[in-house]
């Protein structure tokens, strides 16, 4: 069972004692990301995430930071999303104190050396350019822009070449002060530890972080009334097709049904899209479903990488499978299989201290009621075949369709003709 503590400066701490393990993962969640950014500094959350690895007051160089963890057999990394930025370290249990010291030092005392900023700026710009050379990334870049812009959710989390080129050290320090404070931070620890020993250590290490008010972001309300599309010409051997619709926020009671729809359609070799599009028709090598739930909105979609000649037919086949789920009741045994696949994925992931720390930390950072694995699997089991049909009818709407295609197409007509359920 997890234990929750509130540290003196109001940082929230979650601890999972796992005496059967021999590792410990410490994760830090900062409740900020791309949707909190002003357009002028788009990408600053991601830029800061990179810079926290480039030197601290105690370890002035990136190499010293890396050696501190890798020299004890540990791993660490970070990620930036639209609403949350995450830093984590996984180490052998006897080195917990070193992992904690490195992570806390990164957050509380980063250097932001001007020379390192300029080097990392060039690295991030290359990262951004890589997207435009990678069609299976580019199609989702286009889909996000199509769905969300001009809202911040439509921007690349890493920003643009123009904004990254203009972000200054002063911008970063200002953003850090505004968002990296105690009220916005959750620490989650899982592994071979005892809470009564580590809570005082964590409180001391993070004591320099001050308390400040939470920030707000621009809410999103979809007003889409007609299907939208973007077919980008690019000379490629494969075409990349991604189609999406709106779904539910992370607190919505039907979020479990949407998760099962995702599994039924595109998770695994027995899914409907894999069987219909790859196995029966031979239209695509890669086909899948995807989706996400944010604080106030969500989306659902399907993706395929195909021979350009079969791309329009593949889109038609995907939407046919969507429409079938909205018009024909799903067989009970198919729903049972999907439930077992989802639950199995959750249960198997819980064998790792990193996954356990993330499970609890991410829920707390999103200010959700913390649900255990048993809580979630029980909610999954409650979903009925009628729920699946009802939710499919609700989210699979012609006027909500968004289509992005990347491939050697000089005309969009064949796709537009098929963009309907």
Catalytic residues, by residue number, are 49
Cis amide prior to 150 (ω within 30 degrees):
yes
Cβ–Cβ < 8 Å for 135, 101: no
Of the candidates 226, 225, 138, 139, the residue with the CA atom closest to the CA atom of residue 404: 139
- Bridge-based pairing of strands 2-6 and 23-30 is unpaired
Rg (CA), the chain: 23
**What gap in Å lies between CA 11 and CA 26, rounded to an integer?**
14
- Cα separation, 65 vs 413, in Å, equals 53
Alpha-carbon dihedral sign for residues 344, 345, 349, 355: negative
Give how far the C-alpha of residue 162 lies from the chain's centroid of Cα atoms, to the nearest Å: 24
Residue 123 to residue 117: CA distance in whole angstroms: 10
Contact 125, 161 (CB under 8 A): yes
DSSP bridge partners of 86:
29, 79
Angle, alpha carbons 344-320-331 (nearest 5°): 45
CA distance 209 to 104: 10
Could you give the 3-state DSSP secondary structure of residue 269? Answer: coil
Reference 374, options 347, 412, 335; nearest CA is 347
Using CB atoms within 10 A of its CB, is residue 44 exposed (0-12), middle (13-18) or buried (19+)?
Answer: buried
């Amino acid at each position: 069972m997890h234990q929750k503590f509130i540290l003196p400066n109001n940082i929230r701490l979650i601890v999972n004692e796992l005496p059967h393990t021999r590792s410990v993962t410490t994760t830090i969640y900062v409740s900020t990301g791309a949707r909190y950014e002003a357009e002028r500094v788009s990408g600053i959350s991601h830029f800061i995430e990179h810079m926290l690895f480039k030197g601290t007051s105690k370890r002035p160089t990136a190499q010293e930071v890396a050696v501190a963890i890798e020299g004890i057999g540990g791993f660490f990394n970070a990620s930036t999303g639209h609403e949350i930025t995450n830093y984590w370290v996984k180490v052998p249990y006897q080195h917990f104190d070193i992992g904690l010291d490195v992570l806390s030092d990164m957050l509380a005392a980063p250097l932001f050396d001007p020379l390192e900023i300029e080097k990392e700026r060039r690295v991030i710009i290359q990262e951004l350019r890589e997207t435009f050379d990678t069609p299976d990334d580019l199609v989702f870049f286009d889909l996000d822009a199509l769905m969300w812009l001009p809202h911040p959710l439509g921007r690349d989390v890493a920003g643009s070449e123009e904004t990254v080129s203009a972000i200054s050290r002063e911008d970063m320090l200002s953003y850090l002060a505004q968002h990296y404070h105690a009220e916005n931070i959750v620490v989650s620890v899982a592994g071979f530890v005892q809470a009564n020993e580590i809570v005082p250590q964590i409180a001391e290490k993070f004591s320099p972080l001050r308390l400040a008010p939470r920030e707000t972001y621009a809410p999103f309300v979809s007003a889409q009334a007609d299907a939208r599309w973007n077919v980008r010409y690019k000379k490629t051997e494969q075409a990349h097709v991604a189609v999406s619709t709106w779904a539910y926020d992370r607190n919505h009671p039907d979020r479990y049904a949407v998760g099962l729809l995702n599994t039924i359609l595109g998770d695994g070799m027995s899914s409907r899209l894999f069987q219909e599009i790859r196995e029966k028709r031979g239209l695509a090598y890669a086909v899948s479903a995807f989706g996400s739930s944010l604080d106030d909105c969500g989306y659902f979609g399907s993706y395929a990488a195909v021979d350009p000649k079969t791309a329009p037919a593949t889109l038609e086949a995907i939407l046919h499978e969507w429409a079938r789920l909205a018009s024909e009741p799903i067989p009970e045994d198919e729903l049972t299989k999907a439930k077992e696949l989802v639950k199995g994925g959750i249960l198997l992931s819980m064998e790792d201290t990193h996954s356990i720390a993330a499970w609890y930390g991410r829920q707390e950072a999103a200010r959700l009621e913390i649900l255990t694995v048993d809580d979630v699997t029980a909610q999954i089991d409650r979903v009925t075949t009628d729920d699946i049909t009802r939710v499919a009818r609700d989210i699979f709407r012609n006027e909500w369709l968004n289509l992005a295609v990347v491939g050697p197409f000089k005309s969009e007509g064949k796709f537009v003709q098929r963009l309907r359920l």
